Amino acid sequence: MATARNFDFEEFLNEFAADEDSDFEFEGFDLDDITVSRPTENFENFIDADNWVAGDREPPSLDYTKTPGLKQAVHNKDSPREYFELFFNDNDFEFLAQQTNLYAQQFLRSAQLKPCSRFHKWHETNRSEMKQFISLLMLMGLVHQLDIKEYWTTDPLTTTPFFPSVMPRDRFLSLMTFLHLNDNSEFVPRGEEGYDPLFKLGPLFQKILDRFDTVYQPHQNLCIDEGMVPWRGNLHFRVYSPDKPDKYGLKAYILCDAENGYCMKMKLYTGKPSVPPSDKGATYDLVMSLLRNHYACGHILYCDNYYSSPQLFMDLWCLGVGATGTVRPNRRGIPQEIKEVSKLCSTSHCSILLSYFIHLENRGEVKVLSNGPLSVTKYQDAKPVYLISTVEKSTLVTTGKRNHRNEEVVKPLVVHRYNSNMGAVDRLDMVVSASKLPVKTLKWWKKVFFHILTLIVSNAYVLYKDNCEDQTPLNHRLFRRRLIHELLSNSGEFHTKVTGRPAAGKSLERLSGRHFLRKIVATKTVCRLCIVCSKACRQAEGRKRPGRQISYECGQCNVALCIEPCFEIYHTKQDYVLAYKRLLTQPTEE
């Protein structure tokens, strides 16, 4: 242990007070500064460091001047589609169809397709079919399968006959391939002037985000936090967040209504911006950007220590917005005397140090410093917790909970209000993750688009619960189910030719009923491949189109069949391919 003779107290103070994570370089202070009650740093255009006083203050009242609720009229308040179309309407479906058709034309002109490619059957889509396509995507969030092709399987154990009744599998996969939100011919590569990292999302992405903010007036309490759009592919602005359930993906800064989890705004992180931030920092600019159009209304913002700073909270107060949040003790403007002492010793110099810094010994202790409307609270929990606020006091209140000794949990009011209002973004992430679309894709922007669709459904459900006239509103799952029904019913008369294998229910009808052979009616070809022996030979010999050309078919099943033995096998055996193979391997009688 160092003695008083060889202990360099001036060096210790400079090392202790130097904040590596702070926004400025701390120059240290002299021993003479210990005798004063406040540090003597000079904050130009900042909070006056000499105005910090011990004790709480009575915060000025902040009245909310707006009426929360829906800003636009809804004809049928019990219809989920009415709320969905506030954010995604028929014009958006039309735009989606146009961009998909444009990309399909560009692809087919430049691609070298194989003879068996399903893209040879491509034909232009329209608004009605895109509405069916989006409906099936949302339905996949309700009906889970391990692979997208399993939704069209004919296996009676896992069949979902509704999907093939709406759209053939190959058509759905073609729409998924050609789905596009912007014209590729206008894309500016990365590194060139005019590059936009969110170009692939097109103008529709920003239109939807703008509607989030314009169709609804939130309650007084708002919160800002980070969300994640899961993505593990290569992308230069993909991030790693170890504290999130989805650790890899695109980070999104989200402004939510703290009362119901309604998403007001979302801003994707796209890496280092080309325009440098202001002198007050990038997080300051981010919060100001998210709160634009919500000044001077009496809102109260809740945020964590990533965003909180005395400068931000004081500027928001001048703009008519209160704020409460945890704060890092090394933020510029936090008084030095409220920070925690990490090293203690018995020297006389350290006793002077302890008299200068506020040190809390027991759990539950609270110390407060105030500066005008701003207060800094140091609360001793499992470790020291620092909060700043312009609207809350630090008086002790009961939280309504009990600890393991059945005692009422008592916390400062600022801590209790922060815990009550800070979880809206996490609740939103939970709702989105429970209803996310299980569609794998190699395009990051498609993942973002699918994420936006789930946000639309979540916001529509919040509006439905607040405005529906039913005595008992639907839960979220039933709301999504009714929404899909209404979208499909509203999709219009758009029918595609059903191709591929028949559905499982129809495939089992061949084992019962009355079936008769008939000659194939001459259209383009008189003969067709037998469905039984052609499949069996293809699996056995590996050739593309083996089997016999037959001029007979079953009039009821509409499939070509050999008179002997395929007609009997097809109508008596469930696995007719396996039955035909066994027949071929049986020894013949001599």
501 lies in some domain = no
254 lies in some domain = no
User: Is the same domain home to 340 and 371?
Assistant: yes
* pLDDT of 340: 62
262 lies in some domain = no
**Distance of alpha carbon 19 from the chain centroid:** 35
User: Is the same domain home to 412 and 311?
Assistant: yes
User: Is the same domain home to 518 and 563?
Assistant: yes
Split into its structural domains, the chain has a count of: 3
User: Is the same domain home to 362 and 321?
Assistant: yes
Distance CA(570)–CA(559), nearest Å, equals 10
What is the end-to-end Cα distance of the chain in Å, rounded? 105
User: Is the same domain home to 543 and 571?
Assistant: yes
485 lies in some domain = yes
User: Is the same domain home to 417 and 457?
Assistant: no
39 lies in some domain = yes
User: Is the same domain home to 546 and 579?
Assistant: yes
Amino acid letter, 249: G
User: Is the same domain home to 377 and 450?
Assistant: no
- pTM of the predicted protein model: 0.74
51 lies in some domain = yes
User: Is the same domain home to 80 and 185?
Assistant: yes
Blockwise average pLDDT, block size 10, the chain, 590 residues: 39 41 37 33 50 85 89 90 94 96 93 85 93 94 90 90 92 94 92 91 95 94 93 91 87 94 94 86 93 92 94 93 93 83 49 53 84 90 90 87 82 91 89 83 93 94 89 89 92 51 54 79 73 79 64 84 89 86 70
User: Is the same domain home to 87 and 118?
Assistant: yes
Choosing from 372, 395, 421, the residue where a domain stops is: 421
Choosing from 366, 386, 421, the residue where a domain stops is: 421
236 lies in some domain = no
272 lies in some domain = no
In this structure, the chain runs to a length of 590
* pLDDT of 350: 53
Instruction: Count Cβ atoms below 10 Å from residue 347 Cβ, excluding itself.
Output: 16
User: Is the same domain home to 414 and 332?
Assistant: yes
* pLDDT of 118: 85
User: Is the same domain home to 101 and 141?
Assistant: yes
- Residue 528's Cβ-side half-sphere holds a number of Cα atoms within 13 Å equal to 18
Its domain, for residue 15, covers: 1-26+35-60+305-421
Contact 567, 554 (CB under 8 A): yes
* pLDDT of 541: 55
